A and B are shown apart, each in its own frame.
Chain A
């Protein structure tokens, strides 16, 4: 061990949620004065671990030491008293209050506060860490980056020496990100310790001293940032043990079903999220889009499904342009969409049967004039429940009573029961257990011989490699290349995911 003292030591931390292990026997150590990146995919357990450190959750097992002393953190109040501060992904600020009021909120014990004194203290803090902010501005007037500075100041004002930042760059523009990283370096020079939760490799290499990588609730590695590279990090993060264990009979590639040309779209924040993307998907094939989460995959699928406008480029379904078509028109053109957030495609309080007709209620045999044929609806639901082995007491039960795997099976059943030519599936197995994952995989593969085209997005590389006929790699909104999912291409895929390699279009398969 080096002689730098340890600021945070978490030993053997285990945390379970309703049977799911979010953190499994995690050891996590942060040295004083370092920027320590906590890297992992969505659902890897990063935020859970930090919520434990900040006292929001209590671990089922394990111990925490702060500056070498055993700590009992039962609430954020305890954490603050120990000098730990946390800036959450979603800011917790009162929009109509001023910066000063927000920072002071919850700190005093009297009814009044010495505004001038407090103000001066905040201005001093802001200056010391070069956090430019107008103390009298109201929160709603501030940009995301400025609001984040308020959150950081809030933590510092409460005396934080150890600062946890949960995905701090997700809401920021590139310039704001640069400023934030500078601030963080400045803070460590002042002796503060920073824990930086992220899934972005660039940020890890740009700012951290060391990095701990989590995968599925376990630590896969602890590395000195200077002694690693993006490719190694990507592999540790998404896992390398690719098992080509499902049988994938070869299917002749048919005619083109989906074509996108030079597609561009903006994120919710108005930044370019999809940048000049072009590809085609043919009958009988699965095109997988690999990439680290947050590189524009979600936005891309939303544009194709019609939920987000394209700012440039074209979309064709079966050769017919659909760039400006409504969602309903796209459904009629043969597109099916299984979104990443399943519950946006289902009505949890309504029955399984009523959910099964969400796309088909307008057409015969479900539709009968202005009415819905309830008998046909129940027949359809019964048939799909059997065919897709959805485990439920009956079609009249509400969807919210189903387990995650059964919900996804029901959703797949509905989407595939349509006259589908192209199925667009986002993260179809996220959050599911192994058995459910296998079922979903089999369902997807079974569509190839039927001549359907599938566009699959997943941040699970194993899934992409197992299912896809071709793999497109997305990084920073761009397609870096399209390759076959072969063992010898793994190196290339890793490099493309990290943004270190871009294939010429002529090399794409």
Chain B
């Protein structure tokens, strides 16, 4: 909650100020779209560890944070990134090697948990997952739940419908709310006070943003307030939720940002190759993350030609005929 007029700062400062060792965080986007990659790379560069990450199907950013060793606990619905990684590779390795604690939900359940946090209730019900192992298999022990006040005492609760058969349902699953310390999203437009305009699918960004104590927004374009207020029906998040506004063109690269650029299939294919092997992955981080001082420098390493290649066509919002093999 912040009503200041000017929240513009650079990404180094935003991450330093709001993301701490052990913070509970969530990130916006979905698989290979609108992940706040510039912010994620900065978290990795600042060597912030022991993060508790809440994810639905956030994709590339999740895998890079896990691979870089920033995550110790993960609540997740889906760790995959299209044909580039049917199962996210560093995610898969970390779980198989017992490197992180994790717990599985579904995409709808994670969206509802963020919504519960956003609207200020302790839980929300759904009919999803009745009869499944999502209910039976818990990743966090009872002991850990007791010790850590930031983890709910139960993963889920199945409850008989307290309104009897009202709504044609005999049982519901209650899902605990999520209220992260900080959420980071990347959007198309923002003004310096933090009025937000996303284009295309919003995924669960709005719920994630509103459930969080602090909110960092990175944007493709930092625009005058008049531009956003002239057509307010198109805005999704009121400014007082926002704590930091960071202007980073291509801030979702190598994931896509609708109407601005596509995902970069070359980068994601290369990433897959690096991610397969521990030593190669170190080389990846050294070259593309630690080896550059900021996001612009990463774009320079990738080169103008590739950036041009993924530029969105104005009619469709993506790069037509992009070679995606």
Are A and B co-members of a single complex?
Answer: no
